[in-house]
Amino acid sequence: MKRTFHSSKPESDALNAYIKLIRASENLSVATHRHLADHDLTSSQFAVLETLYHLGPLCQIEIGKKIQKSRGNVTTVVNNLARRKLIERQKDCRDKRFSQVALTDLGEKMVYEVFPHHIAGIVRIFSCLTPAEQHELARLCRKLGLSQQAKTY
Amino acid sequence: MKRTFHSSKPESDALNAYIKLIRASENLSVATHRHLADHDLTSSQFAVLETLYHLGPLCQIEIGKKIQKSRGNVTTVVNNLARRKLIERQKDCRDKRFSQVALTDLGEKMVYEVFPHHIAGIVRIFSCLTPAEQHELARLCRKLGLSQQAKTY
DNA sequence: TAGAAATAGTTTTATGTCAAACTAATATGC
DNA sequence: GCATATTAGTTTGACATAAAACTATTTCTA
């Protein structure tokens, strides 16, 4: 079988970079997810805990902006964390539409437990690249990211 | 608030590269997903169609290896594509455990319709990088990917 | 060759994810 | 001031995803 569409040079260059980047990112996700799963946390749950740790209590819309997820999804993830008493919702008295979401003591403890190992894992994975290579990778990814904000695909 | 864990230089280099790579990849996913959604296809559904187009009929285990997803997930995605008559399951006569999954004519038509635009979108996004930069990005991502296969995080 | 191990696939359970419809509260404009 | 916009959050429906338990079939092995 092995059919394929015709590819010009610019196409195959772009496609190759695309597939390599996607694969690298998927591998990173798998690795980090595996570690977080030891603490029964998903990536999104950890992202919420980490965000609240760094920035303090936030409303759900703000959380959504930080972790780049939809409103409905934030409701789900926050529900699952609240059920485990890792975070708390508090209705804002002034504007009852808002809920302030804050880490509980238990949630903070979880961040302390998980975060250092999380960082160490990432450092270990990236240690196959020299510092210069890490900078260059970051630069290229940033350039790629910026260019997309304008484009509609 | 703005609390943060202490970060050494190697840590912040790795973390910076990590976050930039994840973000770039997420942006790519959003862009491609938006296009595919116009044809009511998810990324996984398209990945299955594309794989079957390139390699011909495969069993579900093989599909799972190609698109890097679990057995159960392949069942789900294949079900959803089969419901729309884009693919067909055929029980293997020799070994009844296997199902050969093949594109239907309708599925092939879908690939022809979607693929060129899909490629064009990727090329457009990556056009913000020079060919040399695209090569370098691919090289760094590949290096990162390879290093992970050995490591347990 | 009969029982055990392995294999392909499905089902179940729990979570994530989005979009769209919805509710409740606040802000705006005439 | 009241009708209308907007905004924060929830709910719903459809799909994705993994892990684990399960079924059916085949292979291995003693």
Residues B52/B90, Cβ–Cβ less than 8 Å: no
Q: Among residues of chain A, what percentage have pLDDT more than 70?
A: 91
Residue B6 lies in a domain: no
pLDDT digits (tens, 9 = 90+) for B104-134: 999 999 999 999 999 999 999 999 999 999 9
Tokens of B21: 């790579």
pLDDT of residue A147: 64
Residue B7 lies in a domain: no
Between CA B39 and CA A151 the distance in angstroms is 20
Between CA B127 and CA A10 the distance in angstroms is 9
Least confident span in A27-41, A76-90, A127-141: A27-41
> Domain range spanning residue A139?
36-150
Residue B36 lies in a domain: yes
CB contact under 8 A, B131 and A10: yes
Residues B13/A124, Cβ–Cβ less than 8 Å: no
In a mutagenesis test of the A interface, which of B128, B136, B146 is the best target, namely the one with the most A β-carbons within 10 Å? B128
Asked whether strand C has any atom less than 7 Å from the CB of A40, the reply is: no
Residues B3/A112, Cβ–Cβ less than 8 Å: no
B40 CA, C17 C1': Å apart:
16
Kindly tell me if the per-residue pLDDT of A150 is higher than 90: no
Q: Report the nucleotide nearest the CA of residue A26, measured to C1'.
A: D17
Q: How confident is the model at residue A2 (pLDDT cuts 50, 70, 90)?
A: low
pLDDT of residue B61: 98
pLDDT of residue A65: 97
pLDDT of residue B4: 75
For A27, other C-beta atoms within 10 Å of its C-beta total 20
More confident residue, B144 or B42: B42
pLDDT digits (tens, 9 = 90+) for B13-33: 899 999 999 999 999 998 898
CB distance from B18 to chain A under 8 Å?
yes
pLDDT of residue A41: 97
Q: In chain B, which residues have their Cβ closer than 8 Å to the Cβ of A56? A: 1-3
Residues A141/B27, Cβ–Cβ less than 8 Å: no
pLDDT of residue B149: 52
Q: What is the CATH number of the domain that holds A92?
A: 1.10.10.10
Residue B18 lies in a domain: yes
Q: What total number of domains does chain A contain?
A: 1
CB distance from B38 to chain A under 8 Å?
no
Residue A15 lies in a domain: no
Q: Which residues, in sequence order, are CB contacts of A80 under 8 Å at separation 6+?
A: A45
pLDDT of residue A151: 46
pLDDT of residue A116: 93
Region B31-37: mean pLDDT is: 90
pLDDT of residue B135: 96
Region B77-88: mean pLDDT is: 98
A68 CA, D9 C1': Å apart:
17
Taking alpha carbons only, the member of B152, B32, B26, B42 closest to residue A25 is B26
Region B80-85: mean pLDDT is: 98
pLDDT digits (tens, 9 = 90+) for A86-133: 999 999 889 999 999 999 999 999 999 999 999 999 999 999 999 999
Residue A97 lies in a domain: yes
Q: Report the nucleotide nearest the CA of residue A42, measured to C1'.
A: C15
Q: Report the nucleotide nearest the CA of residue B96, measured to C1'.
A: D25
pLDDT of residue A6: 65
Residue B107 lies in a domain: yes
A78 CA, C25 C1': Å apart:
21
